[in-house]
Structure 1
Amino acid sequence: MIKTHRSKSALTVAVASGLVLGGVAAPAALAAPSADAVIAEVYGGGGNSGATLTNDFVELANHGAAATSLAGFSVQYLPGSPSASSTWQVTQLSGSVAPGGRYLVAEGKGSGGTVALPAPDATGAIAMSATAGTVALVSGTTALTCKTAANCAADPRIKDLVGFGTATVREGNSAAAPSNTTSVARGTALADTDDNAADFTVGEPTPTNSKGESTGGDTGPAPAPAKIHDIQGTTRISPFKDQKVGGVTGVVTAIRTFGSSRGFWLTDPNPDNDPRTSEGLFVFTGSTSPAVAVGDAVTATGTVREFYPDAPATSNYQSLTELSSAQWTVDSHGNALPAPTVLNPDTVPETYAPSPGGNIEPLTLEPSKYALDFWEAHESEIVQITDARVVGPSNSHNELYVTSKPDQHKSVRGGSVYLGYDQLNSGVMKVSSLIPFDQRPFPQLNVGDVLTGTTSGPVEYSNFGGYTLFASVLGTEKDNGLQAETTRKQRSGELAVATYNVENLAPGDPQAKYERLADAIVTHLATPDIVNLEEIQDNTGATDDGTVAADATLQKFTDAIVAKGGPRYQWREIDPVNDSDGGQPGGNIRVVFLFNPARVSFVDRPGGTSTTAVGVVQDHGKAHLTVSPGRVDPTNEAWTSSRKPLAGEFVFKGRTVFVIANHFNSKGGDQPTHGRFQPPVRSSEVQRQKQATVLRGFVDQLLAADRNANIVVAGDLNDYPFSPAVQKLTAGGALTDLIATVPEAERYSYVFEGQSQVLDHILASKAPRGVDYDVVHINAEFADQASDHDPQVIRFRPGAGNAVQDGLNDLFDYLEQLLGKYFP
């Protein structure tokens, strides 16, 4: 599946439904072909995400020679998969439809969209599905009762009927599934062959009323003559937006022949002299493959649209300028393709985006100054990169990320490290493929691998990952042999504490996932004494049935660790209140302690519940927890719909160690780094700052009771070392963020959109001695992942709070290191 500016979900083939008699399926509904009024178009995506139109509609047409009265008629709708309680919804009609004319029925209105229907001839309030359903033109206004194809075929009141998507009730085979941005429409000849699949095709909605008024491509003024650079203009929004244009000339440079966003790219071989105006344009043909070939010179007419992946009025994303409802003629074949834009290390500007503090769409492009402006100025043109290094691994959507700037913040393992809000790696771009996967499977590459030779194709904006090169030529895979890391074993006097986000681990996950995660604990992390786990789901996983216990999940995981040769870990955790901690609905993810009882003891103090706050008491100058394990201020509004930190008191070689496991709220709701608002608003930071304030307050309580307390704060903080939340935790030096102490080229545990970055942290108080810290890269850089996070581990000798004892501990540590060096 390729994620582009439209959903790429495969169209579902409908299975004939109906009564089965004697082993023979009943026929699909076959209303007798109408000699006059028929259903011409059905659209159910009005007001939905990504829609331009605000309303659903049904359009009728008359292919007869005389006007047809609609008095006493109705339009009726049934869901695609009707249940026992489903009923036909009815909209009454009046008036008539002229010969060769149209009749528009407005239906339900959604919250999105920006364009109203032309004045309807009838109005209803039916909220139709965008993808599957049945619409019938009925003689009468009483609701139909049939719910199978056979029963509806036997109802003489049905004058015409269309089932689309996975509709149970249909004529012949159902029409293909439309979407939020497409409708099903009968051809211009209005043929009624009693086979919806043959009579209807998916395309842009074109609602037209009895006066011939339309918001689509049926009628309207003569198209304005325009060249591609005129259409693209010097800003992100076309000056011809929502207008018909004609005389659009160019050479076909690439074609998309699969998915529901098919079409082709044109480039004008006669450019203007303005570097701000792109010479490329995408011609959108919906789910129909265009009848053109690369090298064809065409002249096109159509409507210019700015496509957003969601509601344009509220979208955080950029738009794609495209030509919709297009018609074209092929003027010649086999033409030379315009020269591509070659991406070298200096081609794309270092500065990522202008920062006006708002919407950048009205701004005149400055492609020599800003990376986002550079890409927009080349939208839909062919770009080419040679020997492209992979900085984001191949994913399940058949995408990967490369960089045109191989030396920009290069990580030690070949990625591009994200080091600050103003230091996005501008050379990073996404690569998808236009080559059908049955001809060439998408390459499975890791960070540091290379697409050798030439990779080229048109570039366009995608809400999933920003500007994307859709490769019609894909380089050859070169595996540079990236290996999963393995950390060293802790020494006898060292306590090892790790943190690992295991990505929604649930009992229903494949055993192979458990085995890989267990191997990570045993082999790659060398069996830490304590492991903070994030995203442990309850015993029924994502099934939202009220279950909150996770003992089955943890038993399966600890059994897998033993099977890999590891110790029999014990666990401590507190079940959350059902559906109160965010994450995958029904999953009830939580943080958990695993610990090796042969190496470390857990201090159990009863009383910790999902809503009980852990406290701190002082005893002979030492700090202790009131409950262990215990949640940190769990009813504080900072933790609304988010995981609550879990504090535990451990003892290692007579020293008390406090470990606090965390999983802060996600970045959901933040504006994208590549969107139309710059700088992006990171609204989720507000809650994480509140969470950091609460957590830091608890750490300060521990240090107030014992300034030499051994404290480890670890987990997925969902934020960067330079973020306000993490800065709040480290203010004044009470805690040290260990990942900020390693070289910049090593500061990452997660890869998102080709940017190697930090979400996971281990922070430590001043007391631990001989601290040794390691990020163990085993997942984030690889196409084949057990989790999308890399684990981390800290090894240290707990401080005793006594200078003499701590000095002796340091001496013992030094001697042990020497012995380990010469007598491994």
Structure 2
Amino acid sequence: MTLRHIPARRRTGLLAATALVGSLTAGLLALPAHAATVTIAAVQGAKRLSPYNGQQVTVTGIVTAIRSTGTSRGYWIQDPVGDGNPATSEALFVYTGSTTPSTKVGNRITVRGTVSEYYPGGSAEGGQSLTELTSASITATLSTGNALPAAFTLDAASVPDAYAPDAGGGSIESLTLAPSTYALDLYESLEGMRVQVGGARVVGATTPYSELFVTAEPTEHPTPRGGTVYGSYASQNVGRVKVESLLTSAFPVADVGDVLSGTTAGPLDYDNFGGYGIQATTLGTLTDNALAPETTRAQTAGELAVATYNVENLDPTDPQAKFDRLAAGIVGNLSSPDIVALEEVQDNNGATDNGVVAADQTYAKLIAAVSAAGGPAYQYRQINPVNDQDGGEPGGNIRVGFLFNPARVGFTDRPGGTSTTAVSVVNNGGTAALSVSPGRINPSDSAWNASRKPLAGEFTFQGKTVFVVANHFTSKGGDQPLHSRFQPPARSSETQRGQQATQVNGFVKQLLAVQPSARVVVLGDLNDFEFSNTVTTLTSGGVLTPLVGTLPAAERYTYVYQGNSQAIDHILTSPALTSYDYDIVHVNSEFADQASDHDPQVVRLVP
């Protein structure tokens, strides 16, 4: 999987210790002699940061949930009465580190501890903080067996349509919360409190970390298959909520479109991977809506089928089952395209970082699996990268490459294309050709630092030349999340993708300058949206048409990230290619069981 703003997931022992030492230091340097006795609402305050941050306090509340595993153990306490101010949370997480809490749910207790603002993943990630008590001790158990405070219902009526206040890219921490106006403020105002969703539709499938995403807004930008489409930077989809479980029972294995029937309830938590979510103490029953993988039609004799597929760090050490599933998808779901641009093909020993860059074994194993699945006898073309220069998993040397069916298409081999050789456009009396084929586009340019270099290939189909450019632009790593405390969040990774788009756009313009009727297909994992500056730059001058824009808005997605179905893989065509049939084939992104984290797509062209 390409890294896409996936910071450290959980509070590790080291991070926990750092937070604890920091809290203790603050307590030793700035605390009064005696802890102030205050309400939980007073500790939380009406802003994101506690007015008591760094101070010792004594608070009273009912224990509503306990996390007794991992290195981020603790319990939530909630005031059943509260202060009547919707901007102030009535609950608080008491952090006990790796120590199992000694109290029980339903106990009304008095706790003394140091108020701390903890940033999951670190402050530099740009996420929100959690107000919590550290170095805490229970000074009294006032009663046991108390009824838990009623859970706040998250639904279309309670969650505002606007996502977050606009601070011009600055921090929103100093702003008073407006929970009836902004969804992000609502969630912050409920931090630690018991919340619930009812009959919640799954919009992000169960992950290996036993988490999924549901929506509290069932009519918000729905896809035909049950997801929630991310269609613009202003359409963050306010109803998305992550669900994890504090229960000992098995976590449900859910696909997009399934439903957690009944009630899912628990304290509202926050982490850096997904934002606000429910730590479920009551988990709805999974209703399986039997989402099925899609299958696209086969190309006709006169159609050239060109596909793109990110195969997620594929290398020969992967289980044979992964190769078999990818092959079955290529043969069955994609109907054996004539050309397949592959992204994230790793070298022959995968993540082992020992100087190996060749990937012939990777291609051979996939081609054999395709043949075993009843598909064509594909050939491949690619160029090995310089060791450890193209980003991705360290040691993996991911690259892009082509599979093609020689019974249907020809490949024009022109030798000389090395990892550092720049392909150029040759003018053969008004007909465009590549100087080397395959060849990399300007590989020494800084736009491609620590990133995959595009691969251009010259194909022939029924006597006609088609230029295909495979891409895998740099990842979104380093971008601030949608739920950032900086609003709107910064997307720093766009700068390099914009430079990469400029390079590819310029190369296509060189082809069309020689031959305006040149047939060009640009495709791959662009790691950016159809409404992004990256795609706008790539299409500048009208040299390319992004085919995703020809689909209904609700069907424009190839990837599901934190409950948002979004399009980051693309196929674009030059003006000469006007007759086409385009399809995104949903076989992976919506499912808990995936062969890859991306959906492939295909275009059937009449050149």
- 2:36 aligns with one of 220, 224, 231: 224
1:328-343 superposed matches below 5 A: 328=138, 329-343=140-154
Is 1:625 the equivalent of 2:439?
no
**2:10–2:121: 8 Å Cα contact kept in structure 1?**
no
- 1:326 aligns with one of 116, 133, 136: 136
**1:497–1:530: 8 Å Cα contact kept in structure 2?**
yes
Q: CA deviation at 1:182?
A: 5.1
Runs of 4+ in structure 1 deviating by more than 3 angstroms, as ranges, are 3-9, 179-183, 204-208, 213-216
1:508-519 superposed matches below 5 A: 508-519=317-328
Residue in structure 2 matched with residue 409 of structure 1 by the alignment: 221
Residue in structure 2 matched with residue 804 of structure 1 by the alignment: none
What is the alpha-carbon distance in structure 2 between the residues aligned to residue 262 and residue 686 of structure 1?
40
CA offsets per residue over residues 557-613 of structure 1, 9 Å max, x none?
101111111111000000011111111111110000000000000000111111111
Residue in structure 2 matched with residue 299 of structure 1 by the alignment: 110
Residue in structure 2 matched with residue 308 of structure 1 by the alignment: 119
2:589 aligned partner, one-letter code = A
Residue in structure 1 matched with residue 564 of structure 2 by the alignment: 755
- 2:601 aligns with one of 792, 797, 800: 792
Is 1:241 the equivalent of 2:53?
yes
Q: CA deviation at 1:461?
A: 1.3
- Secondary structure in 1 matching 2:354: coil
User: Residues 335 and 4 from structure 1, CA distance in 2 versus in 1: closer, same or farther, beyond 3 angstroms?
Assistant: farther
**1:5–1:462: 8 Å Cα contact kept in structure 2?**
no
Residue in structure 2 matched with residue 378 of structure 1 by the alignment: 190
1:607-686 superposed matches below 5 A: 607-686=416-495
Q: CA deviation at 1:319?
A: 0.6
Q: CA deviation at 1:449?
A: 0.1
Residue in structure 2 matched with residue 606 of structure 1 by the alignment: 415
CA offsets per residue over residues 593-652 of structure 1, 9 Å max, x none?
000000000000111111111111122322111110000111111111110000000000
1:22-33 superposed matches below 5 A: none
What is the alpha-carbon distance in structure 2 between the residues aligned to residue 652 and residue 281 of structure 1?
65
Q: CA deviation at 1:205?
A: 7.6
- 1:592 aligns with one of 401, 404, 407: 401
What is the alpha-carbon distance in structure 2 between the residues aligned to residue 486 and residue 416 of structure 1?
21
Residue in structure 1 matched with residue 551 of structure 2 by the alignment: 742
Residue in structure 2 matched with residue 61 of structure 1 by the alignment: none
Q: CA deviation at 1:6?
A: 7.7
CA offsets per residue over residues 385-404 of structure 1, 9 Å max, x none?
11000000000000000000
1:703 aligned partner, one-letter code = L
Residue in structure 1 matched with residue 287 of structure 2 by the alignment: 478
- Secondary structure in 1 matching 2:28: coil
Residue in structure 1 matched with residue 573 of structure 2 by the alignment: 764
- 1:523 aligns with one of 332, 338, 342: 332
- Secondary structure in 2 matching 1:699: helix
**Number of aligned pairs?**
600
What is the alpha-carbon distance in structure 1 between the residues aligned to residue 201 and residue 516 of structure 2?
48
**1:401–1:753: 8 Å Cα contact kept in structure 2?**
yes
Unpaired segments ≥5 residues, structure 2: 1-5
**2:225–2:257: 8 Å Cα contact kept in structure 1?**
yes
User: Residues 720 and 464 from structure 1, CA distance in 2 versus in 1: closer, same or farther, beyond 3 angstroms?
Assistant: same
1:400 aligned partner, one-letter code = L
- 1:368 aligns with one of 160, 180, 194: 180
**2:467–2:520: 8 Å Cα contact kept in structure 1?**
yes
What is the alpha-carbon distance in structure 2 between the residues aligned to residue 462 and residue 215 of structure 1?
28
Residue in structure 2 matched with residue 80 of structure 1 by the alignment: none
What is the alpha-carbon distance in structure 2 between the residues aligned to residue 422 and residue 602 of structure 1?
43
Residue in structure 2 matched with residue 390 of structure 1 by the alignment: 202
Q: CA deviation at 1:731?
A: 2.6
Residue in structure 1 matched with residue 584 of structure 2 by the alignment: 775
- Secondary structure in 2 matching 1:656: strand
Q: CA deviation at 1:215?
A: 5.2
1:585 aligned partner, one-letter code = P
User: Residues 796 and 5 from structure 1, CA distance in 2 versus in 1: closer, same or farther, beyond 3 angstroms?
Assistant: closer
What is the alpha-carbon distance in structure 2 between the residues aligned to residue 593 and residue 647 of structure 1?
10
Residue in structure 2 matched with residue 255 of structure 1 by the alignment: 66
- Secondary structure in 2 matching 1:407: coil
What is the alpha-carbon distance in structure 2 between the residues aligned to residue 607 and residue 6 of structure 1?
44
User: Residues 625 and 315 from structure 1, CA distance in 2 versus in 1: closer, same or farther, beyond 3 angstroms?
Assistant: closer
**TM-score, L = length of structure 1:** 0.71
What is the alpha-carbon distance in structure 1 between the residues aligned to residue 453 and residue 9 of structure 2?
37
What is the root-mean-square deviation in Å for CA atoms of aligned residues? 1.8
- Secondary structure in 1 matching 2:470: strand
CA offsets per residue over residues 232-282 of structure 1, 9 Å max, x none?
001000000010001x11111111111111111111012112110010111
CA offsets per residue over residues 66-122 of structure 1, 9 Å max, x none?
xxxxxxxxxxxxxxxxxxxxxxxxxxxxxxxxxxxxxxxxxxxxxxxxxxxxxxxxx
2:46 aligned partner, one-letter code = T
Q: CA deviation at 1:214?
A: 3.5
What is the alpha-carbon distance in structure 1 between the residues aligned to residue 308 and residue 240 of structure 2?
29
Residue in structure 1 matched with residue 166 of structure 2 by the alignment: 355
Is 1:559 the equivalent of 2:373?
no
What is the alpha-carbon distance in structure 2 between the residues aligned to residue 619 and residue 446 of structure 1?
53
Q: CA deviation at 1:478?
A: 0.6
Is 1:214 the equivalent of 2:24?
no
1:214 aligned partner, one-letter code = L
What is the alpha-carbon distance in structure 2 between the residues aligned to residue 524 and residue 578 of structure 1?
34
Q: CA deviation at 1:206?
A: 4.8
**TM-score, L = length of structure 2:** 0.96
Q: CA deviation at 1:773?
A: 0.2
**1:5–1:261: 8 Å Cα contact kept in structure 2?**
no
Q: CA deviation at 1:507?
A: 0.8
**2:23–2:54: 8 Å Cα contact kept in structure 1?**
no
What is the alpha-carbon distance in structure 1 between the residues aligned to residue 9 and residue 582 of structure 2?
44
2:109 aligned partner, one-letter code = V
**1:739–1:761: 8 Å Cα contact kept in structure 2?**
yes
Bigger relative contact order (CA 8 A; separation at least 6): 2
Residue in structure 2 matched with residue 119 of structure 1 by the alignment: none
Percentage of matched positions with identical amino acids: 57
CA offsets per residue over residues 695-733 of structure 1, 9 Å max, x none?
000000111111111110000000000100101112332
**1:644–1:663: 8 Å Cα contact kept in structure 2?**
yes
Is 1:283 the equivalent of 2:94?
yes
**1:236–1:376: 8 Å Cα contact kept in structure 2?**
yes
CA offsets per residue over residues 455-513 of structure 1, 9 Å max, x none?
00000211110001100000001100100000000000000000000000011000000
